[in-house]
Structure 1
Amino acid sequence: MTEETRPRKKQPRRSRPITPARLVAFEVLMAVDEDDAYANLALPAKIKEFGLTSNDAGLATELTYGTLRMQGFYDTVIANASARDIETIDLVVLNILRLGVHQLLNMRVATHAAVDESVNLAEHMASLGAVGFVNAVLRRTSRHDLEDWQDFVTRDISNAEERLSVLYSHPVWIVRSLKQSLEAEGRGEELEALLAADNVNPRVTLVELPGFVDTNDEVEGEPTPYSPVGMSLNTGGDPTRFARVREGVVRVQDEGSQLAALTLSRGVDSSEHEQWLDMCAGPGGKAALLAAEAEESGAIFIANEVIPARAELVRHALDVLPGVEVITGDGREIGETMPNTFDRILLDAPCTGLGALRRRPEARWRKSPKDVGDLTGLQAELLRSAILALKPGGTLAYVTCSPHLAETRGVVEGALRKYPTVTELDARQAISGVTMSALDLAGDSKSVQLWPHRHGTDAMFIALLTKSE
């Protein structure tokens, strides 16, 4: 074992403190690796804990998310620059190097600043021998720009998908699954654009809960291109600076999630006194929008969540709609206990989340092909329960934040084969009656697949089903 790869050993603090943004980013990266933390939850908490200014919060966000997104590529660069296997480098040192490489190759940070700040971080957080190691690796890295490194690390890779995997920092199995999904639409040539879109910070979009927001409210944004209740922030910063966001009547929500809920609530004609169910409601974003829509149309809305802690999150999300019932139970059992009960059901099924890699960059390194197999079984069970709970003539929206064919068309087509009384409605026609402008949808299925590179949304899948008896 070499000095720089020995277990973490903090040194006495030096006279020069670590810049707050870099310290926050480093601590979040360590929490993601050591505690399986979610960056989208850990980062805001750390920013608040350290009391970062707006500029420092922006820097910490770019350092954290940029490093996590490109981690696979950076590890390849580090392995080459250090002539070491990544597995032999202590995690503390490795995360310091990842942050440094991100600054050198993908940020407008001067070389001397990127190296010096990383060395300073190593002086505070790592073993004595790691300081020289970090300095040497980053100086070797800085001798070449991003394009040079891209050419160098892929020069011996002949397989196209493996090459894209390295360049765009996606596990190769994800690259292949995304390619298959695009090819099913006849758009396989869009693969590289999709991978690139996964590595770009998404715009901050908000949803205005119907019935609660006036057009003259103070949130500074512009209408989203598709959702009639969405807006994009004109400026960055914390959305909670707006009173209406703090009140909970305006929320941060991806436009794709808004469209999934609205396709169910507005894409199909409604009647009085309907009963609506959100079967897997946690953490409550779509539930809040659907509950507001239900109140506007006079429907009764129930939200279900199997995990008690997440059910509490749903209750909190629905604070502005105190009359909504939130129940805690296994969605797979609702069909048996509440058969033929609901006019509309949203089944936002647990999935791999491959459609939200822009927002949850660490997810790409945590998922495996085995997860797909495990989840499709659960998705099929939940869909069966939802079909049983649906009233004849009602509408069921099957939604995933994954474009993986096994989780989308595979699950839907399996249900259509198994249940002869179930038919698929035209979700494309339904969503066309909701959106503010036409969506560019490809392929010949009735379902809707949204894409980051094509629509600027998460890759949401939406299918509508009904049953005759």
Structure 2
Amino acid sequence: MSAARDVAYTVIRAVGEDDAYANLLLPRELERARLTTADAALATELTYGTLRRIGTYDAIIEMAASRSTAEIDAAVLDALRLGTHQLLATRVPSHAAVHETVDLVGRVAGRRATGFANAVLRRVSERDEEEWLTRIEDAARSDDERLSVRYAHPVWIIRAFRRALAAEGREDELLELLAADNAAPTVTLAALPGVGEIPEGSERTPYSPIGFRLAGGDPDRIVRGSGGAVRVQDEGSQLAALALTRALPIRAGERWLDLCAAPGGKTAVLAAEAVAHEAHLEANELSASRARLVRQSVAAVPIEVPVSEEDGRTRAGRGVYDRILVDAPCTGLGALRRRPEARWRKAPADVPELTQLQTELLTAAVAALAPGGIVAYVTCSPHLAETAGVVAEVQRHFGAELTQLDAREVLSSVAGDALDLSAPGDGSGRAQLWPHRHGTDAMSIWLLRRS
């Protein structure tokens, strides 16, 4: 238990102090600590469980401490968050959770802080989770604040989700969406078409024809053994890449571009599809370190994929590509299941800058399309400003030169099982995937064709 808790604390502290990404750091810390399978699973749950509910735990800690979390030393606060998670959301005995967390505080902040930590955690242990939730909900000033503390989502994200659901006539699904964001996702893998093979005994994913889940065993072992032909990839991400390649029949010799390619999961799917249809794929990524990830991601595919390191707004060119993927930088609100800390990192002030960048990238991509070419505009966010707002602005710019294809119809034709993408209140051709409805990230997919 102690080793698992130490790994979790190391990751949580790095996320708060250094803006580290838990999904990247945790595997390295687990490998370094050489934990047993059971302890590794516990460390993973402690890490993600704590990060996911920071807002809720902070409200509880403030009540138990009778002071603002802003007045608590950051290293001590992270330990209290971890201890609170153990007390309220795990089967760790209360005395063990308190004792080990106090011991941790002593090591990271000195003995003078242990008395304070001990007092706070003992007050937390006096009530169960539901009792604490009721208390902090009673102190909330609005219905949205009550949802915020219960479901551990900032108020602005709750409002953005409500508007996105309402645009589809599904506002009554808000609580289901918030609950789904707080559930640990199952690991989904993809076997690159024509390159990788789905292992025998695996469970096929319901929608993506290249996706599967393991009945048991270590996904990392399968991925390493495949040499990159099999990869961990959300089913929504797989569908986003396939929507571009399967929107219309492919002609041999087509030129494709993945404009914002890192980390390269969708690029790998595009590369495998390019091999099968004798198309040519290029990729671009502004960051040199992230461009290296793209090169690694396509290493298993028997095709040369040139990867440039340029600003996508000037890299695209004019009138030369038949298909372009714009997997745009976004708030990432659609992937809060897998990147729980993202909900506490982003703010409403981030949205205008991102939408400006998204609009410029999509405009450049459309300009780079050959006549009849298609661009897939993809965000891992359902935020209307990042999705409908950006597409509307680009369509105003190009006018009748740019038309929408029905992405819902395309994805339904790709999917193995019936894929319900109905959106009674939305007159666009956008395909919006949802964690609570489809078990995927909340991926927004638009298909635009230059006439």
Which of the five TM-score ranges fits, normalised by the shorter chain?
Answer: over 0.9
State the secondary structure of the residue aligned to 2:159: helix
Unaligned segments of structure 1, at least 5 residues: 1-17
1:38 aligned residue: 21
Candidates 348, 357, 363, aligned match of 2:336: 357
1:14 aligned residue: none
Candidates 313, 318, 332, aligned match of 2:313: 332
State the secondary structure of the residue aligned to 2:353: helix
User: How many Å separate the matches in 1 of 2:187 and 2:77?
Assistant: 30
2:407 aligned residue: 427
Amino acid at match of 2:187: V
State the secondary structure of the residue aligned to 1:419: helix
1:272 aligned residue: 252
What TM-score do you get using the length of structure 2 for normalisation? 0.96
User: How many Å separate the matches in 1 of 2:146 and 2:354?
Assistant: 28
Deviations 1:146-186 (A, max 9, x none): 11011110113352211111111111111110110001111
Q: Is the 8 A contact 1:203 1:233 kept in 2?
A: no
Q: How does 1:207-218 map to 2 (within 5 A)?
A: 207-215=190-198, 217=199
1:273 offset after TM fit, Å?
1.2
Deviations 1:34-64 (A, max 9, x none): 1110111111111111111111111110000
Amino acid at match of 1:334: R
1:370 aligned residue: 349
State the secondary structure of the residue aligned to 1:433: helix
Q: Is the 8 A contact 1:206 1:251 kept in 2?
A: yes
Q: How does 1:144-159 map to 2 (within 5 A)?
A: 144-159=127-142
Is residue 295 of structure 1 aligned with residue 275 of structure 2? yes
Q: Is the 8 A contact 2:197 2:230 kept in 1?
A: no
Q: Is the 8 A contact 2:234 2:440 kept in 1?
A: yes
1:254 aligned residue: 234
Q: How does 1:138-217 map to 2 (within 5 A)?
A: 138-215=121-198, 217=199
Q: Is the 8 A contact 1:448 1:461 kept in 2?
A: yes
1:245 offset after TM fit, Å?
4.8
State the secondary structure of the residue aligned to 1:415: helix
User: How many Å separate the matches in 2 of 1:229 and 1:251?
Assistant: 11
1:397 aligned residue: 376
User: How many Å separate the matches in 2 of 1:225 and 1:141?
Assistant: 42
Deviations 1:325-352 (A, max 9, x none): 11121110134xx311111110001101
1:51 aligned residue: 34
User: How many Å separate the matches in 2 of 1:117 and 1:430?
Assistant: 53
Q: Is the 8 A contact 1:422 1:465 kept in 2?
A: yes
Is residue 228 of structure 1 aligned with residue 209 of structure 2? yes
Candidates 390, 393, 404, aligned match of 1:414: 393
Amino acid at match of 1:352: T
User: How many Å separate the matches in 2 of 1:460 and 1:297?
Assistant: 26
Q: Is the 8 A contact 2:223 2:229 kept in 1?
A: no
| Moved >4 Å (runs of 4+) | 243-246
Q: How does 1:13-92 map to 2 (within 5 A)?
A: 19-92=2-75
Q: Is the 8 A contact 2:261 2:284 kept in 1?
A: yes
2:362 aligned residue: 383
Amino acid at match of 1:297: H
State the secondary structure of the residue aligned to 1:369: coil
Q: Is the 8 A contact 2:203 2:215 kept in 1?
A: yes
Q: Is the 8 A contact 2:313 2:360 kept in 1?
A: yes
User: How many Å separate the matches in 2 of 1:428 and 1:248?
Assistant: 30
Q: Is the 8 A contact 1:208 1:250 kept in 2?
A: yes
Is residue 283 of structure 1 aligned with residue 266 of structure 2? no
Q: Is the 8 A contact 1:354 1:403 kept in 2?
A: yes
Amino acid at match of 1:101: T
User: How many Å separate the matches in 2 of 1:400 and 1:98?
Assistant: 31
Deviations 1:247-292 (A, max 9, x none): 1110000000000001111232211211111010011110001100
User: How many Å separate the matches in 2 of 1:127 and 1:84?
Assistant: 20
User: How many Å separate the matches in 2 of 1:30 and 1:214?
Assistant: 39
User: How many Å separate the matches in 1 of 2:68 and 2:130?
Assistant: 22
Amino acid at match of 2:236: G
State the secondary structure of the residue aligned to 2:304: coil
Q: Is the 8 A contact 1:240 1:246 kept in 2?
A: no
User: How many Å separate the matches in 1 of 2:159 and 2:195?
Assistant: 44
1:467 offset after TM fit, Å?
1.1
Amino acid at match of 2:367: L
What TM-score do you get using the length of structure 1 for normalisation? 0.93
1:457 offset after TM fit, Å?
0.4
- Distance of aligned partners of 1:243 and 1:160 in 2 relative to their CA distance in 1, 3 Å threshold: closer
1:122 offset after TM fit, Å?
1.8
Q: Is the 8 A contact 2:286 2:310 kept in 1?
A: yes
1:93 offset after TM fit, Å?
1.0
1:244 offset after TM fit, Å?
5.8
Amino acid at match of 1:295: V
Q: Is the 8 A contact 1:334 1:386 kept in 2?
A: no
- Distance of aligned partners of 1:37 and 1:246 in 2 relative to their CA distance in 1, 3 Å threshold: farther
1:246 offset after TM fit, Å?
4.8
Give the aligned CA root-mean-square deviation in angstroms.
1.4
User: How many Å separate the matches in 2 of 1:262 and 1:208?
Assistant: 13
Which deviates more from structure 2 when the two are superposed, residues 360-369 or residues 242-251? 242-251
Amino acid at match of 1:88: E
Amino acid at match of 2:403: T
User: How many Å separate the matches in 1 of 2:197 and 2:404?
Assistant: 37
1:95 aligned residue: 78
State the secondary structure of the residue aligned to 2:349: helix
